[in-house]
Amino acid sequence: MTDVAERTEGWSGAEVCAIWTEAALVAAKDKRAAIRAGDLMTAFERVEHRPEFRARRH
């Protein structure tokens, strides 16, 4: 969690919410009810590389 908090400093609430939503989808795809740290890191990479996200960050 600390990694996610550090990597999302300055992000909007909607951007952080997108990470949690994506992490939930990763967990659900694996038929798990709980989100793991690895799910959050996967979600971070996916959200960070979305074109609409990159346009706002650069």
Which CATH number is associated with domain 2-57? Answer: 1.10.8.60
The pLDDT, as a whole number, for residue 3 is: 76
The pLDDT, as a whole number, for residue 54 is: 62
pLDDT tens string 1-58: 677 778 888 888 988 999 999 999 999 999 999 999 999 999 999 998 888 776 665 5
Domain residue spans in the chain?
A: 2-57
The pLDDT, as a whole number, for residue 6 is: 84
Label residues 17-42 b or e (16+ Cβ within 10 Å = b): ebbeebbbebbeeeeeeebeeebbbb
The pLDDT, as a whole number, for residue 51 is: 81
